[in-house]
A = this chain, B = another copy of it.
Amino acid sequence: MLVKRGAVLVLSGPSGAGKSSLVNEIINDIGDCYFSISTTTRKMREGEKEGVDYHFVTEEEFKKGIENDEFLEYAVVHGNYYGTSLLPVKEALSQGKLVIFDIDVQGNVSVNNRLGDITTSVFITPPSLSELKRRLAKRGTDSPEVIEKRIENAKKEIQRVSEYDFLIINDDLKNAASQLRLIAKTARMKHPTEEINEFIQKWENA
């Protein structure tokens, strides 16, 4: 048997797709996980906590991280830096954990470039644009301008669904959760290329 060295599950999709609710539904069934927490230079908002919502750092710290190649991926959005530190991800993987990323389509590309052999990617979407609008309005946490921006973003992102291994249409939480549960469990079975190569070498001599 190969030792399982952890694997990666990428979740993308518009705010309002229900990613957090879905993850909460399955979290007890899929074994040891690590939720990747992004690092950002944007200001902490009311109610947010360091190390829970984001790692909040200064622009200087962030740029130093870039120089030292510490980020798995990063992007600048509306003048703020957002990124994923590689170190905690590597640590979690070495402990055999399933590392879960909640990132956008560009982040998915970056993760696949670095960790494609052990990555399974899932795009989660509400059943329709009108349903997305309804959910964002009902949530009542965003200003009309932010909702408009989220919707424009969702329209763009959904065009790239085919870059993902799986599409889950979240029109029923229980049903969508059972799909994500299966995908997450199966995601753990991916082996790093390095390990596969070691296995092949040993296989002939064992």
Contacts and interface: CB of A to CB of B under 8 A. Distances in A.
Q: Is the interface of A mostly helix, strand, loop or mixed?
A: helix
Given A161-B196, A167-B199, A179-B189, 5 more contacts: A128-B203, A129-B205, A131-B206, A158-B203, A186-B186
A64 B193 CA distance: 41
Contacts of A190: 165-166
A128 B205 CA distance: 8
A199 B119 CA distance: 24
Interface in A1-17: 1-2
A200 interface: yes
A141 interface: no
Contact of A193 (B162, B171, B182, B200): B162
